[in-house]
Amino acid sequence: MKTNSAPIPTLTKQRLVRQVGQRTRLPNAAANAALEAVIAIISEQLAAGGRVELANFLTLTVQPYKRLAIEHNFWHTSPTSESGEVTYFVLRCRPGKRLHAQLRALAAPRSRRP
């Protein structure tokens, strides 16, 4: 991985809106509205237990699992059952083919120049 380069800044929603606006020549307000709509659609799909597949980019799924309530975590969404278990939800993200190839290239060892 890159170690000698400057850190890459976090891609915030505001930065994403600006970049979408620049690449599509849309005003930032229109890019923001489009991004808000995409976020809402993805959120609704995942909250309903669905799956989101964006070809060559990533696949998102939500998987429930149970843990004992002793392992307290603020991210559980259901009350403790009679057995003392709490249901948690894990967001799983799997890279698509293109993203996976880009990540592999990033992690590939760089050959040293003589």
In percent, how much of the chain has pLDDT > 90? Answer: 54
**pLDDT score recorded for residue 1:** 47
**pLDDT score recorded for residue 85:** 73
Task: Please state the domain extents for the chain.
Answer: 11-48
**pLDDT score recorded for residue 45:** 96
Give the tens place of pLDDT for each residue, 4-58.
578 889 999 999 999 999 999 999 999 999 999 999 999 999 999 899 999 989 9
Mean pLDDT, the chain, integer: 83
Return the HEC string of the chain: CCCCCCCCCCCCHHHHHHHHHHHHCCCHHHHHHHHHHHHHHHHHHHHCCCEEEECCCEEEEEEEEEEECCCCCCCCCCCCCCCCEEEEEEEEEEECHHHHHHHHHHHCCCCCCC
